[in-house]
Amino acid sequence: TTGGYVTPKSIWLPAVKAKGLEISGTFSRRQGQMYMDMTFTNKALQHMTDFAIQFNKNSFGVIPTTPLPIHTPLMPSQSIEVSLPLNTIGPVMKMDPLNNLQVAVKNNIDVFYFSGLIPLNIFFVEDGKMERQVFLATWKDIPNENELQYQIKECHLNADTVSGKLQNDNIYTIAKRNVEGQDMLYQSLKLTNGIWILAELRIQPGNPNYTLSLKCRAPEVTQYVYQVYDSVLKN
């Protein structure tokens, strides 16, 4: 696949806060690999060298796989695109919000700090399709108070289009039922840390608001999963 939905880059570190260094970025998952995609721009009057990056402990143990791949000086008014591969074998500490990543970047001038929110679909792994029987048993097994409902508003896609778009982000449709004229999609996904999320998506003809029910043994992740559904289906 071409990979899933990628949020547009936003400015993480404005030049005024970093002595002329501006960093904008986003996160992506391509061919099963996670990346932090950044643009470094030098808005200062001197060149910049000796770049390095470090992450604070975070909810999903995200750390860079390689050093920052900037090997030549960044000259005044020059920009460089950087794709930093990530993995999830680092130390874990629960953040608030859960998907917050605190970052330190250094260069020859100083050390600068910023934070970014990681869209949760970066952590949706490729083997997240549950067997039907396992899905049914797990849905029953997870307590009802762990089921959270969300509305996806103003969505005008049919069930097959929805399934296809979500599958690009490793959200898998296990079963589809038509109940009294409405389509029910039963879906599963798995996070890098082994947590499963089960979903029921209800699509009623003529109703642009879909109902998403999510069940998970770690219910604190579900609102971030909902955010992925919302952004994937609206883009």
Q: pLDDT tens digit string along 2-53?
A: 578 999 999 999 999 999 999 999 999 999 999 999 999 999 999 999 999 9
> Residue 219: what are its φ and ψ, rounded to 5°?
-60, -15
What confidence tier does 205 reach under pLDDT thresholds 50, 70, 90?
confident
Average pLDDT value over all residues in the chain = 96
Quote the pLDDT of residue 87: 98
Percent of the chain with pLDDT over 90: 95
* 158-183: pLDDT as tens digits: 999 999 999 999 999 999 999 889 99
Same CATH topology for 10-122 and 132-233: the answer is no
Percent of the chain with pLDDT over 70: 99
Q: Can you give the residue ranges of every domain in the chain?
A: 10-122, 132-233
Quote the pLDDT of residue 1: 43
- CATH architecture classification, 132-233: 2-Layer Sandwich (3.30)
Residue type, 42: N
Quote the pLDDT of residue 58: 98
Quote the pLDDT of residue 2: 58
- Fold classification of 10-122 (topology level): Immunoglobulin-like (2.60.40)
Quote the pLDDT of residue 83: 98
* 49-90: pLDDT as tens digits: 999 999 999 999 999 999 999 999 999 999 999 999 999 999
Quote the pLDDT of residue 64: 99
Contacts 24+ apart (CB under 8 A), 61-69: 61/88, 61/89, 61/90, 61/91, 61/92, 61/193, 62/34, 62/86, 62/87, 62/88, 62/90, 62/101, 62/118, 63/87, 63/88, 63/89, 63/90, 64/36, 68/105
Quote the pLDDT of residue 41: 99
pTM score, whole prediction:
0.94
> Residue 47: what are its φ and ψ, rounded to 5°?
-75, 160
Integer Cα distance of 149 and 139 in angstroms: 14
